[in-house]
Structure 1
Amino acid sequence: MIRVSRPNLGILAAGLLLGGTAAHAADNPGPKEIKHIVDQTIRPLMKENDIPGMAVGITVGGKAYVFNYGIASKKSGQKVNDETLFEIGSVSKTFTATLAGYAQVTGALSLSDKATKYLPALAGSSFDTISLLDLGVYTAGGLPLQFPDNVTDQATMVAYYKDWQPAYAPGTHRLYSNASIGLFGYLAAQSLGQSFDDLMAQKVFPAFGLTHSYIHVPQNKMASYAYGYSKDGKPIRVRPGVLDSEAYGVKTTASDMIRFLAANMNGAKLDDTFRRAISVAQSGYDKIGDMTQGLGWEMYDYPVTLDRLLAGNSSDMVLKPHDVTRLSPPVPPRQDVLINKTGSTNGFGTYVAFVPAKNIGIVLLANRNYPTPARVTAAYQILTALEKQ
């Protein structure tokens, strides 16, 4: 039987996010209403998908809430709490995009630059004609979702890229790829003269006030690091891999993640450089069906139907190449969109979404990699209910 802990309400307040005060029951919707909305969806979701533990972050009307459910470790029975760390998988790409936006805003790089400018070892390869933008929006020409097993370190990574031959002209086809956006993040860090991991820890996380977010979980925080659970119920955590930090390496709490989402909707409290970095990440660069591809983020005209969201987050969109329409110049960030991203590791499943025009957003963190359609549907139900309040 799935155990559901009594949710903690108002863990984050607008004072943490936007300079306001904590929410009270008199607000509309208030903690009780939001708790009811979330419980109605999350409890059956966990039961149907055998999810041991979840943390749900909600931001609505400039106030944020975190709800904790279930357990972080089956062995110890430790409950999910405000400091529980989850792997967020490919939602990490939104942090990579923010760093790249920062690099562009500060003049360290231009998205139009060719990849070999920042990795001269690739000179003479296909990357002489592939731009940073192509890497950031998965249009380099067909880089695979994952590296081959023989790519295990820097040397084999460089050798792989040097030998790789594109199947498509750069900028014409989207094929979702960790090898693509991973290199994008690596080159962004190269342009800034520091390692990616250090830039996350010293620049990006602090800029958003994220105090419980890590690429490498420190030893004194390991007790808060949830165990993920595989399909056969075994405890599992992500293993190191080439460009893992850039593509799927962030571990964080629901409190930190909802803070990050809120700042992406309203960056009034951010440094101007990071406000502009967010704008770079949320600009539209390519159109693929109903979805507009940003850097990391994926956008849909709002209101959007659940069917369109499910199609845009389908396995077909992840595993198959798709023709793209390059938006030139890029479309500036808009308010009337739903912005989202999924993320998975072998033991964790994440979905985040927000609607700037409605000032609502949601973070779903789970220690099981459950089906993406179930995540998207659950978030859609909660957001729709919040909008009606």
Structure 2
Amino acid sequence: MKRIPVARIATIAMACSLFAANASAADSVGQRQIERAVNDAIRPLMAAHGVPGMAVAVTAGGKRYVFNYGVAAKEGRRKVDGDTLFEIGSVSKTFTATLASYGQARGTLSLADPAGKYLPALAGSSLGATSLLDLGTYAAGGLPLQFPDAVTDTRTMVDYFRGWRPRYAAGSHRQYSNPSIGLFGYLAASSMGQPFDDLMEKTLFPALGLAHTYIRVPKARMGDYAYGYSKDGKPVRVTPGVLDAEAYGVKTTAADMIRFVEANIDSAGLDDKLRRAIAGTHTGYFKVGDMVQGLGWEMYAWPTRVDSVLAGSSPQVVLEANQVSRLEPPLSSPADVLVNKTGSTNGFGAYVVFVPAKRIGIVMLANKNFPVPERVKAAFRILAALDGAPGRADTP
């Protein structure tokens, strides 16, 4: 075996050391650049809208960063930290969609099945003939944003659904609706023979590696559960309601949410059925303007303008029925898209956005329901920095 001169070994060692130092320096520069971008976007936003506390998580170039701001509770000035649990409102729908898609991957349901197959009490009704897919994409025919006040339990829920009459043909219009996707999740759980909450907490969350994500916050974690703050500054938490867990019931940390984002960007480390389930949620079924409706997620061709995303999350799209342009065949798991979802409860505001092709993503969790356009614009400023940060995934 040829011996390598000592001087040559020293030269190689020095080169390796310099490479490691340069890589470390690049990582440091990248982290400082990302931190500066997040600070510049988030601190003015919190000041302008009186947001008591926020946690922002970022993934870029295979690295994960979490930044904490302000307080989780004004009383006692408890600071936001890595353990702080936030309500994520309608971002919960992306978990509901993943569970239903997982049911399809496991063979317990088909999205083409009628609702009445899994809730026989709906047999013979308009909604009983509606497909799970139309329920999961808010296209059942005009279900409202919220249940009427008279719906207070499972019996009155079933009575409401049995008596409901569509205003539009199923699949022709999108009307954003908690009862629609709530029923979607309820039926998915029925197909698996277990309660929705149990499936989420004992099956889906653990399978995704989410150890700090809950429907029902355990007693031992209540000290980490942030208080949300209403418009008049009063501490609030989400009010229980029918199908609340399915539509807006998840509480989690920024670190767990960015892990979920990373699973959506690259699910290679998950089992085959869960990989297929996640891919299924990225399938686009129709368009409203520039927005493509997936299961839970909403998508835009990448690159996209911030104005397109603002239009897709506007009151006209969220609060009104919009005629859809069907995608035939559905758009299957495109990579060159921006994927996002907003979420709010009375005291919390959340935004999640990622670009799979760039392997970058952002989670913004706040204990105040501040305007959605401000979330989107702040996220776009951070995305611009992530796309140009050292160590990003597309750097040679």
- Shorter-chain TM-score bucket reads over 0.9
Q: CA RMSD in A?
A: 1.0
Aligned to 1:299: 299
Q: Deviations over 1:256-307 (max 9, x none)?
A: 0000001100011111111000011110111111010000000000000011
1:29 Cα shift? 5.3
Larger Rg: 2
In structure 1, what is the Cα distance between the partners aligned to 2:45 and 2:192? 42
Deviation of residue 327 (structure 1)? 2.0
Distance 1:50 1:25, change over 3 A: farther
Contact 2:101 2:277 in 1 (8 A): yes
Cα distance in structure 2, aligned partners of 1:143 and 1:155: 18
Distance in 1 (alpha carbons) for counterparts of 2:149 and 2:24: 52
Name the residue aligned to 1:115. Answer: 115
User: Which position in structure 2 is the counterpart of 1:48?
Assistant: 48
Q: When you count helix as a share of all residues, which structure comes out higher? A: 2
| Secondary structure of the structure 1 residue equivalent to 2:66 | strand
Secondary structure in 1 matching 2:74: coil
- The structural deviation recorded for 1:26 is 2.8
Q: For this pair of structures, how many residues does the alignment match?
A: 367
For residue 134 of structure 1, what is the aligned residue in structure 2?
Answer: 134
* Distance in 1 between residues matched to 2:214 and 2:171, nearest whole Å: 32
CA distance in 2 between counterparts of 1:63 and 1:259 reads 11
Pairing 1:197-212 to 2, within 5 Å after superposition: 197-212=197-212
**TM-score, length basis structure 2:** 0.91
Instruction: Structure 2 unaligned segments of length 5 or more: list them.
Output: 1-22, 390-396
Structure 1 residues 29-38 or 137-146, which shifts more?
29-38
For 2:237, the aligned partner's letter is R
Q: Give the whole-Å Cα distance in 2 for the aligned partners of 1:180 and 1:91.
A: 15
Is the contact between residue 90 and residue 343 of structure 2 (CA under 8 Å) also seen in structure 1? Answer: yes
Counterpart in the other structure of 1:353: 353
Report the TM-score when normalising by structure 1. Answer: 0.93
Question: How far apart in 1 are the matches of 2:135 and 2:64?
Answer: 34
Q: 1-side partners of 2:364 and 2:84: how far apart?
A: 13
| Alpha carbons 1:102, 1:274 under 8 Å: kept | yes
Q: Deviations over 1:351-380 (max 9, x none)?
A: 000001111000000000000000000001
Instruction: Kindly state the Cα deviation for residue 220 of structure 1 after the two structures are TM-superposed.
Output: 0.3
- Paired-residue identity, %: 64
Corresponding residue for 2:151?
Answer: 151
Cα distance in 2 for residues equivalent to 1:90 and 1:355: 20
Letter in 1 for 2:323: D
Q: Which amino acid aligns with 1:301?
A: A
Could you say which residue in structure 2 is the equivalent of 1:257? 257
What is the distance in 2 between the residues matched to 1:161 and 1:315? Answer: 25
Aligned partners of 2:29 and 2:285: how far apart in 1?
36
Cα gap change, 1:305 to 1:160, in 2 (>3 Å): same
Q: Secondary structure at the match of 2:296?
A: coil
Match of 1:7 in 2: none
1:24 and 1:31 in contact (8 A); partners too: no
- Over 6 Å off, 4+ runs: none
Match of 1:317 in 2: 317
Aligned-partner Cα distance in 1 for 2:212–2:276: 24
